[in-house]
């Protein structure tokens, strides 16, 4: 039965990867990447039960943490073009550091 | 194996198979739906349901051990962060000017109505100006 669950989750992962490759916009890809992370967490858990060693759950938990932070980081990067300090300036726009200004980024 | 054990096993397998069905349906929806705003429904909602069911089934299989505690931690964390991440994606798409299909049609009459009322207000106000 766990083999069936593993197979179903693996199939779902493949389908979501196809959407991640074919997604027409950035947000489709971010969404598919987030879903792929969730699928991977569950896949690792089920695989641990399938092989009789449920110790992989630590890795699954770590993957869940990294997946969430990664999704938010990607979204923030494509919104502000910076991951670090994006505290708003008096005009309501994030402060651009010198390096980015020199490259001609405008918001 | 008494009746209670068989009952618990059956509930566990039903939960795991139902969760797998939800995950598969969500994945197919993510591939097949035509629009980003429909895809986000398929992925987010079905993933949350499938994740909860799969975690529940694995918890029942694990019994009263440390495995169950880890599974509960994973389930609670994913239950909080999954919808949050989906909301962040939707919010980023909305802010970047990526409107749902037909959203412009809902906005047009509102703007026209505002313009009409503004004109009416201006007409009403104009005689007052001279009087004051």
- Dump pLDDT digits (tens) for B20-69: 999 999 999 988 888 888 889 888 999 999 999 999 998 998 888 888 99
Distance, CA of A53 to CA of A60 (rounded, Å):
13
Give φ, ψ of A94 to 5 degrees: -65, 150
Do B96 and B108 sit in the same domain of this protein? no
**Interchain CB contact of B13 with A (< 8 Å):** yes
Same domain, yes or no, for B83 and B23? yes
Nearest to B20 among A9, A49, A75 (CB): A9
List the single best residue of B70, B76, B79 to mutate versus A (max A Cβ within 10 A).
B70
> Which residues 6+ apart lie within 8 Å of B68 measured at CB?
B59, B62
Distance CA B132, CA B129 (A): 5
* Same domain (yes/no): B33, B82: yes
Q: Report residue A8 as tokens.
A: 């179903």
**Do both B53 and B113 map to the same domain?**
no
B22 within 8 A of B56, measured Cβ to Cβ: no
Report the pLDDT value the prediction gives residue B76, as an integer from 0 to 100.
93
- Is the domain of B12 the same as that of B48? yes
8 A C-beta contact, residue B29 and residue B39: yes
Is A30 in the B-facing interface, judged by CB distances under 8 Å?
A: yes
Give the model confidence (pLDDT) of A8-45 as tens digits: 999 999 999 998 998 788 888 999 999 999 999 999 99
Say yes or no: B87 and B131 in one domain.
no
Q: How many domains does chain B have?
A: 2
Residues B47, B7, single domain; the answer is yes
B94 with B108, same domain?
Answer: no
Containing domain of residue B113, as a range? 102-132
- Same domain as B40, residue B62: yes
Interface probe for B, chosen from A8, A23, A72 (most Cβ of B below 10 Å), is A8
> Does the beta carbon of A64 lie under 8 angstroms from any beta carbon of chain B?
yes
pLDDT digits (tens, 9 = 90+) for B114-125: 555 655 555 555
Do B25 and B74 share a structural domain? yes
* Cα B38 to Cα A9: distance, rounded to the nearest angstrom: 22
Are B80 and B109 within one domain? no
What pLDDT, on a 0 to 100 scale, did the predictor assign at position A76? 87
Q: Are residues B91 and B111 in the same domain?
A: no
């Amino acid at each position: 039965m766990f083999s069936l669950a593993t197979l179903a989750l693996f199939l779902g992962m493949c389908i979501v990867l196809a959407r991640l490759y074919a997604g027409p916009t950035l947000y489709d890809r971010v969404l598919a990447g987030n879903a792929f992370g969730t699928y991977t967490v569950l896949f690792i858990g089920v695989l641990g039960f399938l092989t009789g060693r449920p110790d992989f759950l630590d890795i699954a938990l770590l993957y869940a943490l990294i997946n969430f932070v990664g999704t938010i980081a990607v979204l923030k990067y494509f919104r502000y073009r910076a991951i670090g300090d994006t505290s708003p300036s008096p005009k309501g726009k994030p402060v651009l550091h010198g390096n980015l200004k020199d490259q001609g980024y405008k918001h | 194996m008494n009746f209670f054990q068989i009952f618990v096993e059956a509930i566990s397998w039903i939960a795991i198979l139902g969760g797998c069905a939800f995950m598969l349906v969500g994945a197919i929806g993510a591939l097949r739906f035509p629009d980003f705003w429909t895809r986000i429904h398929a992925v987010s909602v079905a993933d949350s349901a499938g994740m909860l069911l799969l975690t529940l089934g694995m918890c029942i299989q694990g019994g009263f051990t440390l495995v169950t505690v880890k599974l509960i931690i994973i389930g609670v964390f994913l239950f909080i962060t999954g919808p949050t991440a989906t909301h962040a994606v939707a919010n980023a798409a909305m802010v970047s000017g990526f409107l749902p299909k037909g959203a412009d049609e809902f906005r047009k009459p509102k703007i026209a109505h505002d313009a009409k009322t503004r004109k009416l207000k201006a007409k009403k106000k104009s005689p007052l100006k001279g009087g004051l």
